[in-house]
Amino acid sequence: MKYSEWKSLDADERKNISWHRRPHIRTATLFTIAFGVAFIIIVLGISKNSTVHINRKPTKTEAYSIAKTFAKDKLKQPEKAVFANTADQLVTDTATNTYNISAWVKIENNSGKLERSAWEVKMRYIDGDWAEKSSWQVISITVTPQP
C-alpha cells in the first residue's frame, strides 16, 4: 500500500490494516546527522590523542631530539648553536633502554666565529613521555671542540 492510499482510508479501515506508517524522513535524517556529527567528534578527539608519547619506547629520531636539548643545556650560548640535522652515531640498547648519541654542533667561540664541536650524550629512557626531560636519566654529556 502506498502512503497516498493510506491517507484516503478512514479510521476504521486504518485499524484493520496492520500496515504501520514509517517514520518521517526528517526524523531519520536528523538522527543520521546527529550520529555523523558525534562520530566525527569522537574520531577527531582520538586523533588529537595520537600526539601523546606515552607507553612506547622512543625512536632514534626522538632520542636524538631530546639529546640535543641535553647538549644545548651544556653549552655557554645555546641560542646561537647550530646542530646537525641527524646524528653521526646513534647506538640503542633496547634491553637497558640506553641511547648513545654523538653528532656535531657549531657554536660561537670567544672571537665570535662559529667553530665545530663534537658532542656525545649517553642517556637512559626511564618511562613516560619521551619529550619530557624527566623521562630520561643522563649518564654523561661531553662537548669537545674539533680542530
Question: What digits encode the pLDDT tens for the residues 84-143?
Answer: 888 888 898 888 889 999 999 998 877 878 889 999 999 999 988 888 888 899 999 998
What is the model's pLDDT at position 95? 85
Beta bridge partners of 106: 82, 116
Q: Is the dihedral of CA 101, 134, 141, 82 positive or negative?
A: positive
Contact 47, 115 (CB under 8 A): no
Q: Residues 55-77: what's their mean pLDDT?
A: 87
What is the model's pLDDT at position 27? 77
CATH number of the domain located at residue range(s) 60-145 in this protein: 3.10.450
Q: How many CB atoms lie within 10 A of CB 78?
A: 15
What is the model's pLDDT at position 122? 95
Is the pTM above the cut of 0.75? no
Count CA atoms within 13 Å of residue 76 on its CB side.
9
Residue 77: pLDDT over 70: yes
Contact 5, 19 (CB under 8 A): no
* Domain boundaries along the sequence of the chain: 3-51, 60-145
Which three three-digit cell numbers place residue 97?
633502554
Q: Residues 81-85: what's their mean pLDDT?
A: 88
